[in-house]
Amino acid sequence: MFEHISIQQLVELKNKQAVNIVDIRDGQSFAAGHISNAISLNNDNVAQYITATNKETPLVVCCYHGNSSQGAAQYFSEQNFKLVYSLDGGFEDWKISQPSDIEQG
């Protein structure tokens, strides 16, 4: 099972420990702006990500508004990731409340 995480909870989690953030939006949207240190995931690289990533590190899944990320978060929990979160409000809410924590490219 995955859990929901608010933007404020994610800020606190990032300040406290290492967190893996994956962004499942399309590549063009990711390039235009994403949460700092997030990784763009799509069908082409998800299998390699699952194989190469430490499943003990908390994983936060981000999409546009927090809807698609729920299904992806469930998928990652089924792949034996220990702590999986879906970001409520997605990147659209993140960029409004955390504009200083956005990378481009």
From the candidates 10, 35, 63, 72, give the one annotated as an active-site residue: 63
Neighbours of 85 (CB within 10 A): 25
Our answer to whether residue 63 is catalytic in this structure is: yes
Helix runs in 1-105, H state only: 7-16, 27-32, 46-52, 68-78, 90-97
Query: So which residues are the catalytic ones?
Result: 63
